[in-house]
Chains A and B, each alone.
Chain A
Amino acid sequence: GAGVSQSPSNKVTEKGKDVELRCDPISGHTALYWYRQSLGQGLEFLIYFQGNSAPDKSGLPSDRFSAERTGGSVSTLTIQRTQQEDSAVYLCASSLQGRLSTNEKLFFGSGTQLSVL
C-alpha cells in the first residue's frame, strides 16, 4: 500500500478483555516496529520485526503483550487481559531494511487509540 495502515483506528474495551491491533506496513518493507504513546509520554518502543522474526522484544511491558508477523507483511499486536494502564495510542512503523540512515526512513501509521474502561 501507499502508507502504513493500522486498524482499528479506535478501540474501546473492558478491563480483562483481549484485544488485537493490526498493522499493514508499506509494501516491500522488511522492518516493522510497534511503539505506544501513553498520555503525556513519548513514543515507547515495544517490539521490532525483521521479516517474520523479532530480534528485539525488549520493550514489551509484560507477558500479556505479544506480537507476530506473517508473510513478512502484516503484524498483529495482541494484549491479553487488558488493564486500564494499557490505554494509549499504539503506533506501527516500517522501514525498508531496518538500517536507518540518511537513505532509509521510518514511516508511521496513524495509530490505534486503545481505551480500556
Chain B
Amino acid sequence: DQQVKQNSPSLSVQEGRISILNCDYTNSMFDYFLWYKKYPAEGPTFLISISSIKDKNEDGRFTVFLNKSAKHLSLHIVPSQPGDSAVYFCAASATNYGGSQGNLIFGKGTKLSVKP
C-alpha cells in the first residue's frame, strides 16, 4: 500500500503561471516532508522541505504547504519557468519512529511541463 501518493502523473502549465503539485500521505507518523526534482538521466535533487510543526515553508519561487489534518501537502511554483520542467517527487519520513530514522518514502512523481 502506497504511503505517499502523487495522484497526478503529469501537469502542464504556461510559463509565468502558477504550478501546483499535490501529494497525499497515509502514515500519521510522518513528521518531515520533502520535494525532490529530477531531470532525465540525473539523480533527484533536493528542492524544499517542511517539518510537521509548520504549515508553510517558502524559498524563492517555491512554497510548500502542509495540511496535517488532511494528510496533504502541495508544492507551489510561481512564476513557473521552462527550466522547471522536470519530474517532482514528494517524500516523507518518520524521523522519530522505529529503526530507520533516515529512510524517505517517495511518491511516484509528477512530470511538470512548463510551456513557453
Contact = CB atoms under 8 A, between A and B. Distances in A.
Interface of A: 4, 31, 33, 35, 40-45, 48, 50, 55-56, 58, 91, 93, 95, 97-102, 105-111
Question: How many interface residues does chain B have, given as a range?
Answer: 20 to 34
B63 interface: no
Interface of B: 4, 6, 32, 34, 36, 41-46, 49, 51, 89, 91, 93, 95, 99-109
Given A42-B108, A42-B109, A100 B89 contact: no
Contacts of B45: 108
Given A102-B49, A105-B46, A108-B44, A95 B103 contact: no
A45 B104 contact: yes
Given A42-B4, A42-B6, A44-B106, 11 more contacts: A4-B43, A42-B109, A45-B104, A48-B103, A56-B100, A95-B102, A100-B32, A101-B51, A105-B46, A108-B45, A111-B43
